[in-house]
Amino acid sequence: MEAISERVFTEPTSSSEAISDEPSLLTIILDISPLGWYKLRDLMTLEEMTKNLLVFLNAHLALNNSNQVAFIASSPKGSRFLYPNPAKSYQEVKVSDGATSARDFVNKGMYRQFRIVDKAVLEELNEFLNEINKDQDDTMLADPASKLSGALSMALTYTNRMLTLDQSITTTTASAIASTTSSSASAASSTATGAGGASSGSSSTSMKSRILVVSANDDNDVKYIPIMNTIFAAQKMKLSIDIIKLGDEENSSYLQQPSDATNGIYLHLTDPRGIIQVLSTAYFIEPSLRPFIILPTNSNVNYRASCFITGKAVDVGYVCSVCLCIMSIIPDSKKCPTCNSQFDERIIHQLTKEPEVVKKKRKIDSK
Partner 1 sequence: MRNGVANLVSEVSGSPQYHLDKIRQLKARQHNKFEPKGDPSLQNSLEMARSLLKYNFGSNANNTKNSKEILVIFGALFTSDPGDIHKTIGNLVKDDIKVKVIGLSAQVAICQELVNRTNREEKNTSSKNYGVIMNESHFKELLMDCVTPLPLTEQEKEFEESNHGVPVIKMGFPTKIQPTGNSSIGNTDFTIEFPQLNASFPTAGSDDSSDVVQINHNMGATTTGVAVGYQCPQCKSKVCNLPTICPVCGLMLILSTHLARSYHHLVPLRPYKEVPISSTYESQFCFGCQLQFPKGVRTTSKSKGKLESMTSSRYRCMKCSKDFCINCDVFVHEVLHNCPGCENSK
Report the residue number, 110 or 161, with the smaller CB distance to partner 1.
161
Q: Are 262 and 239 in contact (CB under 8 A)?
A: yes
CB atoms < 10 A from the CB of 365, how many?
7
Q: Are 232 and 257 in contact (CB under 8 A)?
A: no
Q: Shortest gap between Cβ of 254 and partner 1 (angstroms)?
A: 10
Q: Shortest gap between Cβ of 203 and partner 1 (angstroms)?
A: 19
CA distance 65 to 281: 21
Report the residue number, 107 or 240, with the smaller CB distance to partner 1.
240
Q: Shortest gap between Cβ of 223 and partner 1 (angstroms)?
A: 7
Q: Shortest gap between Cβ of 12 and partner 1 (angstroms)?
A: 8
Report the residue number, 111 or 303, with the smaller CB distance to partner 1.
303
**Residue 291 identity (one-letter amino acid):** P
Helix (H, G, I), strand (E, B) or coil at 41: coil
Q: Shortest gap between Cβ of 240 and partner 1 (angstroms)?
A: 13
Report the residue number, 101 or 350, with the smaller CB distance to partner 1.
350
Beta bridge pairs of residue 211: 27, 241
Q: Are 60 and 67 in contact (CB under 8 A)?
A: yes
Q: Shortest gap between Cβ of 157 and partner 1 (angstroms)?
A: 3
CB atoms < 10 A from the CB of 177, how many?
24
CA dihedral (359, 360, 365, 367) positive or negative: positive
Report the residue number, 352 or 366, with the smaller CB distance to partner 1.
352
Report the residue number, 13 or 96, with the smaller CB distance to partner 1.
13
Q: Are 57 and 241 in contact (CB under 8 A)?
A: no
Q: Shortest gap between Cβ of 243 and partner 1 (angstroms)?
A: 14
Report the residue number, 14 or 107, with the smaller CB distance to partner 1.
14
| Cβ-based neighbours of 140, under 8 Å, separated by 6 or more | 76, 77, 132
Closest alpha carbon to 276 in 120, 115, 57: 57
Report the residue number, 55 or 233, with the smaller CB distance to partner 1.
233
The size of the chain, in residues, is 367
CA distance 290 to 259: 13
CA dihedral (7, 8, 11, 14) positive or negative: negative
Report the residue number, 193 or 338, with the smaller CB distance to partner 1.
338
| Cβ-based neighbours of 314, under 8 Å, separated by 6 or more | 304, 305, 306, 307, 326, 328
Q: Shortest gap between Cβ of 269 and partner 1 (angstroms)?
A: 6
Q: Shortest gap between Cβ of 133 and partner 1 (angstroms)?
A: 18
* 98-117 per-residue burial string, b: 16 or more CB within 10 A, e: under 16: eeeeeeebbeeeeeebbbbb
